[in-house]
Amino acid sequence: MGQFGNQPDFATNDIQAVTPTNTISSATNLDSSVIYIGDNTTAGDVLVVIPSGVTGGFGVKNLVTVPFGQAVGTGYTTAGPLATTTSGSGTGCTVGITASAGAITAITITTPGVGYAAGDTITVTQGGAANGTFTISALKVLPPTATQSVAFHGLQAGGFLPVTVDYVLASNATDTTSVQKLIGAK
């Protein structure tokens, strides 16, 4: 029986204590948990979280040539990581290439970069004539960063945070060791 008659409990699965950390990884992801504030002794009355569904943007996962499977570019030698440019607004993608007779025959992503969109073109700008162009066929969802956190101030003990949460951070607080008695549930 839930909190109200004929209503199920909304927090019945995977109830656990939450330890704030600045590590953002699958091991610290709370997977859209509701946070109960059992004892609000947060430093300066601040609780810093990353809400559910926030991402760090999109990086490059796969590249293809058009037409598919053709060698591209001239003057290239096998190397990596190499810088790229894009037709879109993404930055930071680096690649490793295999070349034969100066043309790129295979490409691997060494750094996915951030801010890319499917269909953008990537041009390998190092190691050849800067004419080896590929199309982004798949994107990689990047984890959020601490800069995407939200700070809640003055939370009352015995209440719930008004958003579902993926991460509870220890940053942006004067004393990162004093957040206590937080419970996450799904």
Distance of CA 185 to the CA centre of its chain: 22
Give pLDDT, residue 10.
55
CA-CA distance, 169 to 26, in Å (whole number)?
14
Smallest CA-to-CA distance from 113 within 130, 132, 88, 76 is with 88
Give pLDDT, residue 126.
93
Give pLDDT, residue 9.
52
Give pLDDT, residue 46.
75
CB atoms inside a 10 Å sphere around CB 178: 13
Give pLDDT, residue 39.
67
Whose tokens are 């190397």? That residue is: 79
Sheet (strand 180-185) strand order: 16-18, 180-185, 34-39, 159-160
Smallest CA-to-CA distance from 100 within 62, 124, 72 is with 72
Q: DSSP letter at 116?
A: -
Give pLDDT, residue 180.
47
Give pLDDT, residue 45.
64
pLDDT along the chain (186 residues), means of 10: 48 73 88 79 69 91 90 95 93 96 96 95 94 95 86 76 87 47 54
Give pLDDT, residue 2.
45
Strand residue runs (E) in the chain: 16-18, 34-39, 46-51, 58-64, 79-86, 91-100, 103-114, 121-124, 132-141, 150-153, 159-160, 165-169, 180-185
Whose tokens are 């799904």? That residue is: 186
